[in-house]
Amino acid sequence: QCCCPSLQLQSIAISDPTVVRLERWRVKPGQYVNPTDSLGLLRTSAGKELRLYPPNGGRIVRLLVSDGSAVKLGDAVCELEPCEHSIVMKDLCAECGQNLQWRARRTAPIGLATVAMVHCIPELHVSQGRAECLAAEDEDLLLKQRKLVLLVDLDQTVIHTTTQNVPPKLAKVHHFQLKPPVWYHTRVRPGVEEFLARISRRMLQSANKDRQFEVFIPRGDHMIVIIDDRDEVWDSMPSLIHVKPYQFFEGTEDINCPPGSAVPASKADPMDLVEKAMEHQHPQPEKQQEQQPQDPNQPIEWPDNDRYLYRLADILTDIHSEYYRRLDASTGTDGGGGGDSATAATASTKAKPPESRQVCTKLRGQVLRGCRLVFSGLFPTSLPPEKSKAYQIATGLGAEVQADVQLGSKVAQDSRTTHLVAAKSGTSKFHRARKAQPESPDGCSIVNPEWLWTCYYEWRRCPEADFPVVADVDYLGLRRDSRQRRDSEVKRYKSDRKRRRQESLV
Protein backbone atom coordinates (compact mmCIF):
# COMPACT_ATOMS: atom_id res chain seq x y z
CA GLN A 1 0.00 0.00 0.00
CA CYS A 2 1.33 3.39 -1.00
CA CYS A 3 2.39 5.64 1.84
CA CYS A 4 1.87 8.84 -0.20
CA PRO A 5 -0.47 11.32 1.51
CA SER A 6 -3.86 11.65 -0.22
CA LEU A 7 -5.29 15.05 -1.03
CA GLN A 8 -8.60 16.12 0.52
CA LEU A 9 -11.75 15.31 -1.46
CA GLN A 10 -13.42 18.13 -3.39
CA SER A 11 -17.15 18.50 -3.79
CA ILE A 12 -18.24 19.72 -7.23
CA ALA A 13 -21.32 21.90 -6.88
CA ILE A 14 -23.67 23.71 -9.25
CA SER A 15 -22.39 27.25 -9.84
CA ASP A 16 -24.99 28.49 -12.37
CA PRO A 17 -28.26 29.77 -10.84
CA THR A 18 -30.21 28.96 -14.03
CA VAL A 19 -29.51 25.18 -13.81
CA VAL A 20 -32.54 23.17 -12.67
CA ARG A 21 -31.77 19.55 -13.59
CA LEU A 22 -28.89 17.15 -14.20
CA GLU A 23 -29.78 15.32 -17.38
CA ARG A 24 -27.21 12.50 -17.31
CA TRP A 25 -23.70 11.63 -16.19
CA ARG A 26 -20.87 11.00 -18.64
CA VAL A 27 -18.44 9.57 -16.05
CA LYS A 28 -18.39 6.72 -13.55
CA PRO A 29 -16.92 6.40 -10.04
CA GLY A 30 -13.21 5.57 -10.15
CA GLN A 31 -12.69 7.25 -13.50
CA TYR A 32 -9.83 9.77 -13.94
CA VAL A 33 -10.81 13.07 -15.53
CA ASN A 34 -9.05 16.20 -16.78
CA PRO A 35 -10.21 19.81 -16.42
CA THR A 36 -11.29 19.67 -20.07
CA ASP A 37 -13.41 16.51 -19.65
CA SER A 38 -17.19 16.87 -19.43
CA LEU A 39 -18.63 15.21 -16.33
CA GLY A 40 -22.28 15.46 -17.35
CA LEU A 41 -25.03 17.43 -19.05
CA LEU A 42 -27.10 20.09 -17.24
CA ARG A 43 -30.44 21.68 -18.18
CA THR A 44 -31.31 25.32 -17.44
CA SER A 45 -34.76 26.78 -16.74
CA ALA A 46 -34.80 28.11 -20.30
CA GLY A 47 -34.19 24.64 -21.72
CA LYS A 48 -30.57 25.33 -22.66
CA GLU A 49 -28.07 22.44 -22.34
CA LEU A 50 -24.80 23.04 -20.45
CA ARG A 51 -21.76 20.90 -19.66
CA LEU A 52 -20.32 20.29 -16.20
CA TYR A 53 -16.50 20.51 -15.95
CA PRO A 54 -14.26 19.69 -12.97
CA PRO A 55 -12.10 22.47 -11.49
CA ASN A 56 -8.99 20.28 -11.87
CA GLY A 57 -7.90 16.78 -12.76
CA GLY A 58 -8.46 13.83 -10.47
CA ARG A 59 -10.45 10.69 -9.78
CA ILE A 60 -14.24 10.57 -9.42
CA VAL A 61 -14.98 9.08 -6.01
CA ARG A 62 -18.78 9.21 -5.80
CA LEU A 63 -21.79 10.54 -7.71
CA LEU A 64 -24.16 12.27 -5.25
CA VAL A 65 -27.16 12.62 -7.57
CA SER A 66 -28.59 10.37 -10.25
CA ASP A 67 -29.55 11.08 -13.84
CA GLY A 68 -32.56 13.35 -14.21
CA SER A 69 -32.41 14.70 -10.64
CA ALA A 70 -33.46 18.24 -9.90
CA VAL A 71 -30.63 20.46 -8.70
CA LYS A 72 -30.16 24.10 -7.78
CA LEU A 73 -27.37 26.57 -7.14
CA GLY A 74 -24.86 25.29 -4.57
CA ASP A 75 -25.95 21.63 -4.63
CA ALA A 76 -23.01 19.17 -4.52
CA VAL A 77 -23.39 16.64 -7.30
CA CYS A 78 -20.17 14.55 -7.02
CA GLU A 79 -16.91 14.14 -5.09
CA LEU A 80 -13.51 14.39 -6.74
CA GLU A 81 -10.16 13.26 -5.38
CA PRO A 82 -7.65 15.71 -6.91
CA CYS A 83 -4.71 14.09 -8.67
CA GLU A 84 -1.41 14.98 -7.05
CA HIS A 85 0.41 14.25 -10.34
CA SER A 86 2.92 12.06 -8.52
CA ILE A 87 4.15 10.39 -11.73
CA VAL A 88 4.92 12.60 -14.73
CA MET A 89 6.41 11.60 -18.07
CA LYS A 90 7.28 14.42 -20.46
CA ASP A 91 4.82 16.87 -18.85
CA LEU A 92 1.98 14.30 -18.94
CA CYS A 93 0.56 12.91 -15.71
CA ALA A 94 0.71 9.13 -15.81
CA GLU A 95 -2.35 8.79 -13.53
CA CYS A 96 -4.89 11.27 -14.87
CA GLY A 97 -3.34 12.00 -18.29
CA GLN A 98 -3.42 15.77 -17.80
CA ASN A 99 -0.98 17.89 -19.80
CA LEU A 100 1.02 19.82 -17.22
CA GLN A 101 3.06 21.87 -19.64
CA TRP A 102 0.84 24.92 -19.15
CA ARG A 103 1.66 24.87 -15.43
CA ALA A 104 5.31 25.62 -16.12
CA ARG A 105 4.48 29.33 -16.27
CA ARG A 106 2.42 29.17 -13.07
CA THR A 107 2.91 28.10 -9.48
CA ALA A 108 3.51 24.35 -9.26
CA PRO A 109 0.62 22.49 -7.63
CA ILE A 110 1.02 20.41 -4.48
CA GLY A 111 2.69 17.09 -5.19
CA LEU A 112 4.04 18.02 -8.63
CA ALA A 113 6.68 15.44 -9.57
CA THR A 114 10.18 16.86 -9.24
CA VAL A 115 12.34 13.81 -8.40
CA ALA A 116 14.04 11.92 -11.25
CA MET A 117 14.25 8.35 -9.95
CA VAL A 118 15.53 6.58 -13.07
CA HIS A 119 18.96 7.71 -14.23
CA CYS A 120 18.54 6.50 -17.82
CA ILE A 121 15.05 8.08 -18.23
CA PRO A 122 15.46 11.75 -17.20
CA GLU A 123 11.97 12.65 -18.48
CA LEU A 124 10.31 10.44 -15.84
CA HIS A 125 9.67 12.25 -12.54
CA VAL A 126 7.83 11.34 -9.38
CA SER A 127 6.75 13.38 -6.40
CA GLN A 128 8.77 13.48 -3.21
CA GLY A 129 6.10 11.48 -1.39
CA ARG A 130 5.99 8.79 -4.06
CA ALA A 131 9.80 8.69 -4.15
CA GLU A 132 9.94 8.14 -0.38
CA CYS A 133 7.28 5.45 -0.69
CA LEU A 134 9.27 3.57 -3.33
CA ALA A 135 12.48 4.02 -1.34
CA ALA A 136 10.80 2.58 1.77
CA GLU A 137 9.79 -0.52 -0.19
CA ASP A 138 13.36 -0.93 -1.47
CA GLU A 139 14.72 -0.48 2.04
CA ASP A 140 12.41 -3.16 3.45
CA LEU A 141 13.47 -5.52 0.67
CA LEU A 142 17.14 -4.88 1.42
CA LEU A 143 16.64 -5.61 5.11
CA LYS A 144 14.75 -8.82 4.39
CA GLN A 145 17.51 -9.97 2.04
CA ARG A 146 20.18 -8.70 4.46
CA LYS A 147 21.90 -6.57 1.83
CA LEU A 148 23.32 -3.07 1.45
CA VAL A 149 23.54 -0.76 -1.56
CA LEU A 150 26.96 -0.36 -3.18
CA LEU A 151 27.50 2.72 -5.32
CA VAL A 152 30.28 1.89 -7.80
CA ASP A 153 32.44 4.33 -9.69
CA LEU A 154 33.77 2.94 -12.96
CA ASP A 155 36.90 4.59 -14.37
CA GLN A 156 40.04 3.95 -12.32
CA THR A 157 37.98 1.93 -9.85
CA VAL A 158 36.97 -1.21 -11.75
CA ILE A 159 38.19 -0.22 -15.23
CA HIS A 160 40.72 2.11 -16.84
CA THR A 161 40.06 3.89 -20.12
CA THR A 162 42.33 5.90 -22.37
CA THR A 163 42.10 7.68 -25.72
CA GLN A 164 45.81 7.32 -26.44
CA ASN A 165 47.08 5.15 -29.26
CA VAL A 166 47.62 1.60 -28.02
CA PRO A 167 48.50 -1.60 -29.91
CA PRO A 168 45.32 -3.13 -31.42
CA LYS A 169 46.38 -6.63 -30.30
CA LEU A 170 46.79 -5.62 -26.66
CA ALA A 171 45.43 -8.47 -24.55
CA LYS A 172 42.26 -7.95 -22.45
CA VAL A 173 41.70 -4.41 -23.78
CA HIS A 174 38.33 -3.49 -25.31
CA HIS A 175 38.23 -0.93 -28.14
CA PHE A 176 35.10 1.09 -28.94
CA GLN A 177 33.83 4.42 -30.23
CA LEU A 178 31.20 6.67 -28.67
CA LYS A 179 31.51 9.45 -31.21
CA PRO A 180 33.85 9.17 -34.21
CA PRO A 181 36.68 9.70 -34.78
CA VAL A 182 37.79 9.20 -31.13
CA TRP A 183 38.55 5.63 -30.08
CA TYR A 184 38.39 4.50 -26.46
CA HIS A 185 40.44 1.64 -25.07
CA THR A 186 39.30 0.05 -21.79
CA ARG A 187 41.06 -2.44 -19.55
CA VAL A 188 39.04 -4.24 -16.85
CA ARG A 189 40.71 -4.38 -13.46
CA PRO A 190 42.00 -7.86 -12.57
CA GLY A 191 39.59 -9.84 -10.40
CA VAL A 192 36.50 -7.77 -11.19
CA GLU A 193 34.38 -10.82 -12.06
CA GLU A 194 35.18 -12.55 -8.77
CA PHE A 195 34.71 -9.25 -6.93
CA LEU A 196 31.20 -8.64 -8.29
CA ALA A 197 30.17 -12.27 -7.81
CA ARG A 198 31.28 -12.21 -4.18
CA ILE A 199 29.80 -8.81 -3.34
CA SER A 200 26.45 -9.48 -5.09
CA ARG A 201 25.56 -11.90 -2.29
CA ARG A 202 25.71 -9.03 0.21
CA MET A 203 25.07 -5.85 -1.75
CA LEU A 204 23.13 -4.46 -4.67
CA GLN A 205 25.41 -2.70 -7.13
CA SER A 206 24.67 0.58 -8.84
CA ALA A 207 26.92 2.30 -11.37
CA ASN A 208 25.20 5.68 -10.95
CA LYS A 209 27.43 8.46 -9.68
CA ASP A 210 25.70 11.55 -8.34
CA ARG A 211 26.52 13.57 -5.25
CA GLN A 212 22.88 14.71 -4.84
CA PHE A 213 21.57 11.85 -2.73
CA GLU A 214 18.10 13.36 -2.50
CA VAL A 215 17.68 12.74 -6.24
CA PHE A 216 17.99 8.96 -6.20
CA ILE A 217 18.03 8.17 -2.43
CA PRO A 218 15.05 10.11 -1.02
CA ARG A 219 15.23 8.48 2.43
CA GLY A 220 18.94 9.12 2.98
CA ASP A 221 22.21 7.25 2.61
CA HIS A 222 22.13 5.15 5.79
CA MET A 223 22.34 1.90 3.77
CA ILE A 224 24.75 3.19 1.11
CA VAL A 225 28.43 2.33 0.71
CA ILE A 226 30.44 4.11 -2.00
CA ILE A 227 33.64 3.01 -3.73
CA ASP A 228 35.46 5.66 -5.75
CA ASP A 229 39.04 6.58 -6.58
CA ARG A 230 38.32 10.30 -6.05
CA ASP A 231 37.27 11.32 -2.56
CA GLU A 232 36.90 15.00 -3.44
CA VAL A 233 33.81 14.19 -5.50
CA TRP A 234 31.99 13.09 -2.34
CA ASP A 235 33.57 15.60 0.07
CA SER A 236 35.23 12.69 1.91
CA MET A 237 31.94 11.20 3.10
CA PRO A 238 32.30 8.70 5.98
CA SER A 239 30.57 5.97 3.96
CA LEU A 240 33.06 6.38 1.11
CA ILE A 241 35.80 3.81 0.55
CA HIS A 242 38.59 5.64 -1.23
CA VAL A 243 39.96 2.89 -3.44
CA LYS A 244 43.45 2.74 -4.84
CA PRO A 245 43.26 4.20 -8.37
CA TYR A 246 43.71 1.64 -11.12
CA GLN A 247 46.11 2.91 -13.77
CA PHE A 248 46.94 0.47 -16.54
CA PHE A 249 47.69 3.04 -19.26
CA GLU A 250 50.50 5.31 -18.17
CA GLY A 251 49.83 9.00 -18.66
CA THR A 252 46.03 8.66 -18.48
CA GLU A 253 44.20 9.36 -15.25
CA ASP A 254 40.41 9.71 -14.91
CA ILE A 255 38.94 9.70 -18.45
CA ASN A 256 36.18 12.07 -17.24
CA CYS A 257 38.82 14.72 -16.46
CA PRO A 258 40.14 16.38 -19.63
CA PRO A 259 43.93 16.75 -20.00
CA GLY A 260 45.32 19.64 -18.00
CA SER A 261 42.28 19.89 -15.69
CA ALA A 262 44.08 18.40 -12.70
CA VAL A 263 44.70 20.44 -9.56
CA PRO A 264 47.67 22.77 -10.10
CA ALA A 265 50.84 21.72 -8.36
CA SER A 266 50.79 24.86 -6.23
CA LYS A 267 47.35 23.95 -4.83
CA ALA A 268 47.82 20.22 -4.58
CA ASP A 269 48.29 18.63 -1.17
CA PRO A 270 51.81 17.23 -0.74
CA MET A 271 50.32 13.94 0.39
CA ASP A 272 48.50 13.67 -2.94
CA LEU A 273 51.85 14.07 -4.67
CA VAL A 274 53.31 11.27 -2.59
CA GLU A 275 50.35 9.06 -3.42
CA LYS A 276 50.77 9.56 -7.14
CA ALA A 277 54.51 9.22 -6.93
CA MET A 278 54.38 5.85 -5.22
CA GLU A 279 51.68 4.29 -7.41
CA HIS A 280 52.77 1.48 -9.68
CA GLN A 281 53.56 2.81 -13.15
CA HIS A 282 53.24 0.50 -16.15
CA PRO A 283 55.87 0.60 -18.88
CA GLN A 284 55.45 3.14 -21.65
CA PRO A 285 53.97 1.86 -24.94
CA GLU A 286 57.22 2.74 -26.70
CA LYS A 287 59.12 0.45 -24.34
CA GLN A 288 56.56 -2.28 -24.83
CA GLN A 289 57.17 -2.30 -28.55
CA GLU A 290 60.55 -3.92 -27.95
CA GLN A 291 58.86 -6.81 -26.09
CA GLN A 292 56.19 -7.53 -28.68
CA PRO A 293 56.07 -11.13 -29.95
CA GLN A 294 57.20 -11.95 -33.43
CA ASP A 295 53.84 -13.44 -34.38
CA PRO A 296 51.56 -10.50 -35.36
CA ASN A 297 48.42 -12.52 -34.52
CA GLN A 298 49.51 -13.26 -30.98
CA PRO A 299 48.07 -10.88 -28.33
CA ILE A 300 50.45 -8.48 -26.67
CA GLU A 301 50.71 -8.94 -22.91
CA TRP A 302 51.45 -5.98 -20.66
CA PRO A 303 52.25 -6.71 -17.00
CA ASP A 304 49.38 -6.06 -14.59
CA ASN A 305 49.92 -7.17 -11.00
CA ASP A 306 46.99 -5.25 -9.50
CA ARG A 307 45.16 -7.34 -6.86
CA TYR A 308 43.39 -4.59 -4.96
CA LEU A 309 39.82 -5.79 -5.64
CA TYR A 310 40.41 -8.91 -3.58
CA ARG A 311 41.20 -6.76 -0.55
CA LEU A 312 38.28 -4.43 -1.33
CA ALA A 313 35.92 -7.41 -1.24
CA ASP A 314 37.18 -8.22 2.28
CA ILE A 315 36.56 -4.62 3.38
CA LEU A 316 32.98 -4.64 2.08
CA THR A 317 32.35 -8.02 3.70
CA ASP A 318 33.48 -6.64 7.06
CA ILE A 319 31.21 -3.60 6.66
CA HIS A 320 28.23 -5.82 5.82
CA SER A 321 28.87 -8.13 8.78
CA GLU A 322 29.24 -5.25 11.24
CA TYR A 323 26.14 -3.49 9.89
CA TYR A 324 23.83 -6.45 10.36
CA ARG A 325 25.50 -7.39 13.64
CA ARG A 326 24.39 -4.00 14.94
CA LEU A 327 20.92 -4.46 13.48
CA ASP A 328 20.54 -7.90 15.09
CA ALA A 329 21.74 -6.50 18.42
CA SER A 330 19.13 -3.72 18.29
CA THR A 331 16.30 -6.14 17.45
CA GLY A 332 17.45 -8.96 19.71
CA THR A 333 17.39 -11.47 16.86
CA ASP A 334 19.96 -13.84 15.43
CA GLY A 335 20.31 -13.22 11.71
CA GLY A 336 23.23 -15.54 11.24
CA GLY A 337 21.15 -18.69 10.87
CA GLY A 338 19.88 -19.41 14.37
CA GLY A 339 16.17 -19.01 15.04
CA ASP A 340 13.35 -18.22 12.67
CA SER A 341 14.70 -16.30 9.68
CA ALA A 342 11.24 -14.94 8.79
CA THR A 343 10.81 -13.54 12.29
CA ALA A 344 14.28 -12.00 12.15
CA ALA A 345 13.52 -10.37 8.79
CA THR A 346 10.24 -8.92 10.10
CA ALA A 347 11.93 -7.54 13.20
CA SER A 348 14.68 -6.01 11.05
CA THR A 349 12.21 -4.09 8.91
CA LYS A 350 10.49 -2.64 11.99
CA ALA A 351 13.72 -1.57 13.72
CA LYS A 352 15.58 1.61 12.82
CA PRO A 353 18.48 0.57 10.55
CA PRO A 354 22.01 1.47 11.59
CA GLU A 355 23.98 4.14 9.76
CA SER A 356 26.50 2.81 7.26
CA ARG A 357 28.66 5.89 7.81
CA GLN A 358 29.01 5.02 11.50
CA VAL A 359 29.98 1.45 10.63
CA CYS A 360 32.62 2.63 8.14
CA THR A 361 33.98 5.19 10.58
CA LYS A 362 34.33 2.58 13.32
CA LEU A 363 36.08 -0.01 11.16
CA ARG A 364 38.35 2.57 9.58
CA GLY A 365 39.27 3.98 12.97
CA GLN A 366 40.58 0.62 14.16
CA VAL A 367 43.33 0.37 11.51
CA LEU A 368 46.02 2.41 13.31
CA ARG A 369 44.53 2.56 16.78
CA GLY A 370 47.30 2.82 19.35
CA CYS A 371 49.82 4.22 16.86
CA ARG A 372 51.46 7.62 17.43
CA LEU A 373 52.76 9.17 14.21
CA VAL A 374 55.17 11.99 13.44
CA PHE A 375 55.43 13.46 9.93
CA SER A 376 58.64 14.70 8.36
CA GLY A 377 58.78 16.52 5.04
CA LEU A 378 55.21 15.69 3.98
CA PHE A 379 53.89 19.26 4.03
CA PRO A 380 55.33 22.77 4.47
CA THR A 381 56.05 23.86 8.02
CA SER A 382 53.88 26.95 7.44
CA LEU A 383 50.82 24.74 6.88
CA PRO A 384 48.91 23.75 10.04
CA PRO A 385 49.09 19.96 10.36
CA GLU A 386 45.34 19.70 10.86
CA LYS A 387 44.76 20.99 7.31
CA SER A 388 47.05 18.49 5.61
CA LYS A 389 45.76 15.35 3.95
CA ALA A 390 48.27 13.21 5.83
CA TYR A 391 46.94 14.39 9.19
CA GLN A 392 43.31 13.78 8.20
CA ILE A 393 44.09 10.29 6.94
CA ALA A 394 46.08 9.33 10.03
CA THR A 395 43.45 10.53 12.48
CA GLY A 396 40.71 8.89 10.42
CA LEU A 397 42.56 5.59 10.75
CA GLY A 398 42.61 6.00 14.55
CA ALA A 399 46.22 7.15 14.95
CA GLU A 400 47.47 9.98 17.13
CA VAL A 401 49.60 12.60 15.40
CA GLN A 402 52.46 14.15 17.38
CA ALA A 403 54.35 17.31 16.54
CA ASP A 404 57.81 15.90 17.28
CA VAL A 405 59.54 12.61 17.97
CA GLN A 406 59.11 11.45 21.57
CA LEU A 407 61.35 8.53 22.41
CA GLY A 408 63.63 7.39 25.19
CA SER A 409 63.34 5.84 28.61
CA LYS A 410 62.13 9.10 30.16
CA VAL A 411 59.05 9.25 27.94
CA ALA A 412 55.89 7.54 29.20
CA GLN A 413 54.96 4.33 27.45
CA ASP A 414 51.64 5.67 26.18
CA SER A 415 53.31 8.80 24.74
CA ARG A 416 56.19 7.28 22.81
CA THR A 417 56.28 7.77 19.06
CA THR A 418 55.62 4.50 17.23
CA HIS A 419 56.06 5.65 13.63
CA LEU A 420 57.97 8.32 11.78
CA VAL A 421 56.53 8.89 8.32
CA ALA A 422 59.34 10.59 6.40
CA ALA A 423 59.36 11.77 2.79
CA LYS A 424 63.15 11.64 2.74
CA SER A 425 66.09 10.82 4.95
CA GLY A 426 68.43 13.38 6.43
CA THR A 427 65.90 15.51 8.31
CA SER A 428 66.34 16.32 11.99
CA LYS A 429 63.34 14.19 12.95
CA PHE A 430 64.75 11.31 10.94
CA HIS A 431 68.11 11.45 12.76
CA ARG A 432 66.48 11.79 16.20
CA ALA A 433 64.21 8.82 15.58
CA ARG A 434 67.10 6.67 14.36
CA LYS A 435 69.37 7.76 17.21
CA ALA A 436 66.76 7.04 19.87
CA GLN A 437 65.84 3.63 18.52
CA PRO A 438 68.34 1.68 20.69
CA GLU A 439 67.08 3.47 23.81
CA SER A 440 63.40 2.77 23.13
CA PRO A 441 62.21 -0.68 24.28
CA ASP A 442 59.57 -0.90 21.60
CA GLY A 443 61.50 0.97 18.92
CA CYS A 444 60.20 3.46 16.36
CA SER A 445 59.37 2.35 12.84
CA ILE A 446 60.64 4.72 10.15
CA VAL A 447 58.51 4.36 7.02
CA ASN A 448 57.98 6.25 3.78
CA PRO A 449 54.63 7.92 2.98
CA GLU A 450 53.42 4.98 0.89
CA TRP A 451 52.93 3.00 4.13
CA LEU A 452 50.28 5.46 5.29
CA TRP A 453 48.51 5.42 1.91
CA THR A 454 48.58 1.63 1.72
CA CYS A 455 47.03 1.38 5.18
CA TYR A 456 44.43 3.93 4.06
CA TYR A 457 43.54 2.03 0.89
CA GLU A 458 43.56 -1.46 2.41
CA TRP A 459 42.04 -0.65 5.83
CA ARG A 460 44.70 -2.63 7.68
CA ARG A 461 48.07 -2.03 9.26
CA CYS A 462 50.66 -3.07 6.71
CA PRO A 463 54.14 -4.42 7.60
CA GLU A 464 56.47 -1.49 8.24
CA ALA A 465 59.47 -3.41 6.92
CA ASP A 466 58.02 -3.26 3.40
CA PHE A 467 58.18 0.56 3.32
CA PRO A 468 61.70 1.67 4.28
CA VAL A 469 62.99 5.17 3.72
CA VAL A 470 65.79 4.74 1.19
CA ALA A 471 68.72 7.13 1.52
CA ASP A 472 69.11 9.90 -1.07
CA VAL A 473 65.57 9.36 -2.38
CA ASP A 474 63.18 12.31 -2.33
CA TYR A 475 59.73 10.72 -2.43
CA LEU A 476 58.07 14.06 -3.09
CA GLY A 477 60.56 14.78 -5.86
CA LEU A 478 59.42 11.67 -7.70
CA ARG A 479 56.17 13.45 -8.40
CA ARG A 480 57.94 16.28 -10.18
CA ASP A 481 59.35 13.80 -12.70
CA SER A 482 55.90 12.26 -13.07
CA ARG A 483 54.41 15.72 -13.71
CA GLN A 484 56.87 16.32 -16.53
CA ARG A 485 55.86 13.01 -18.12
CA ARG A 486 52.20 13.99 -17.76
CA ASP A 487 52.81 17.33 -19.51
CA SER A 488 54.48 15.53 -22.40
CA GLU A 489 51.51 13.15 -22.60
CA VAL A 490 49.11 16.11 -22.73
CA LYS A 491 51.07 17.64 -25.61
CA ARG A 492 51.04 14.33 -27.45
CA TYR A 493 47.29 13.97 -26.85
CA LYS A 494 46.58 17.43 -28.28
CA SER A 495 48.80 16.70 -31.28
CA ASP A 496 47.01 13.40 -31.97
CA ARG A 497 43.61 15.09 -31.63
CA LYS A 498 44.61 17.83 -34.09
CA ARG A 499 45.87 15.21 -36.54
CA ARG A 500 42.63 13.19 -36.28
CA ARG A 501 40.55 16.31 -36.93
CA GLN A 502 42.57 17.10 -40.05
CA GLU A 503 42.18 13.51 -41.27
CA SER A 504 38.41 13.63 -40.70
CA LEU A 505 38.16 16.85 -42.75
CA VAL A 506 40.05 15.24 -45.60
Is 50 exceeded by the pLDDT of residue 35? yes
pLDDT (average), residues 485-494: 52
| Number of independent structural domains in the chain | 3
- Global pTM? 0.72
Asked if residue 141 belongs to a domain, the reply is: no
Is 70 exceeded by the pLDDT of residue 318? yes
pLDDT (average), residues 1-30: 82
Is 50 exceeded by the pLDDT of residue 1? no
Asked if residue 209 belongs to a domain, the reply is: yes
Asked if residue 495 belongs to a domain, the reply is: no
Given pLDDT bands bounded at 50, 70 and 90, which one contains residue 209?
A: low
Q: 425 and 389, same structural domain?
A: yes
Q: 87 and 166, same structural domain?
A: no
Q: 177 and 96, same structural domain?
A: no
Asked if residue 50 belongs to a domain, the reply is: yes
Is 60 exceeded by the pLDDT of residue 290? no
Q: Which of 334-343, 453-462, 497-506 has the lowest mean pLDDT?
A: 334-343
Which residue range(s) make up the domain with 112?
10-129
Q: The domain spanning residue 119 has which CATH number?
A: 2.40.50.100
Is 90 exceeded by the pLDDT of residue 489? no
Q: 200 and 344, same structural domain?
A: yes
Q: The domain spanning residue 435 has which CATH number?
A: 3.40.50.10190
Count CA atoms within 13 Å of residue 456 on its CB side: 25
Q: 317 and 180, same structural domain?
A: yes
pLDDT (average), residues 462-473: 84
Asked if residue 276 belongs to a domain, the reply is: no
256-288 residue pLDDT tens: 654 444 433 333 444 443 444 444 333 444 444
Asked if residue 112 belongs to a domain, the reply is: yes
Determine the Cα–Cα distance for residues 469 and 445; give it in Å rounded to an integer. 10
Determine the Cα–Cα distance for residues 225 and 240; give it in Å rounded to an integer. 6
pLDDT: which is higher, 128 or 372? 372
Quote the pLDDT of residue 264: 37
Q: Which of 99-108, 310-319, 453-462 has the lowest mean pLDDT?
A: 99-108
Residue at which a domain ends, from 96, 129, 162: 129
Q: 231 and 152, same structural domain?
A: yes
123-144 residue pLDDT tens: 888 887 888 888 888 888 889 9
Q: The domain spanning residue 194 has which CATH number?
A: 3.40.50.1000
Quote the pLDDT of residue 214: 54
Q: Which of 72-86, 218-232, 461-475 has the lowest mean pLDDT?
A: 461-475
421-449 residue pLDDT tens: 998 888 888 888 887 665 455 678 899 99
For the CA atoms of 185, 188, 190, 196, the dihedral, rounded to the nearest 10 degrees, stands at 180
Asked if residue 265 belongs to a domain, the reply is: no
Asked if residue 282 belongs to a domain, the reply is: no
Choose among 307, 406, 423, 314: nearest CA to 367: 314
Q: Render 408-451 in DSSP notation, one character per residue.
A: STTS-GGGS--EEEESSSSSHHHHHHHHHGGG-SS--EEE-HHH
Helices 389-396 and 270-278, packing angle to 10 deg? 80
Q: 74 and 44, same structural domain?
A: yes
**Could you give the percent of the chain with pLDDT greater than 70?**
73
156-205 residue pLDDT tens: 999 999 998 888 888 899 999 988 889 999 999 999 999 999 999 888 76
Is 90 exceeded by the pLDDT of residue 66? yes
Mean pLDDT, the chain, as a whole number? 79
Q: 216 and 87, same structural domain?
A: no
